[in-house]
Amino acid sequence: MNLQADDFYSALSHPMRLRAVILIKKMDELCVCELTHALGLAQPVISRHLAQLKEAGVLLARKQGLWVYYRINDALPTWALDVIQTTHNGVADSSPYQDDRQALEIDH
């Protein structure tokens, strides 16, 4: 994969996209409806952010019936996967990232 650092960091630069990536990293895979609930945004807004992350190569999507599920692209270069992991480790237990995870856990 030929990922450019500026594309990667640009994709993660929006707070909602970063929150989505951190939540997906924690949960392994999430559908649009779960992200909509956890992040408190309308489906079109979430879908637009996810499309940008997918276009940048950060996320992969798979369709199952009517649902689209997103996960971290495991073909990302090691440096990019390390950035996501390190960021997750550093922020996952702080607000708003912990709040996002708790919103999902309430419904599961």
pLDDT tens, residue by residue, 26-58: 999 999 999 999 999 999 999 999 999 999 999
CA distance 53 to 7: 10
The pTM for the full model equals: 0.93
Region 73-90: mean pLDDT is 97
Listed in sequence order, the residues at least 6 apart from 24 whose beta carbon sits closer than 8 Å to its beta carbon are: 30, 35, 59, 70, 71, 72
The yes-or-no verdict on residue 93 having pLDDT over 60 is yes
* CB-based burial, 65-100: b 16+ in 10 Å, e otherwise: eeebbbebbeebeeebeebbeebbeeeeeeebbeeb
The yes-or-no verdict on residue 90 having pLDDT over 60 is yes
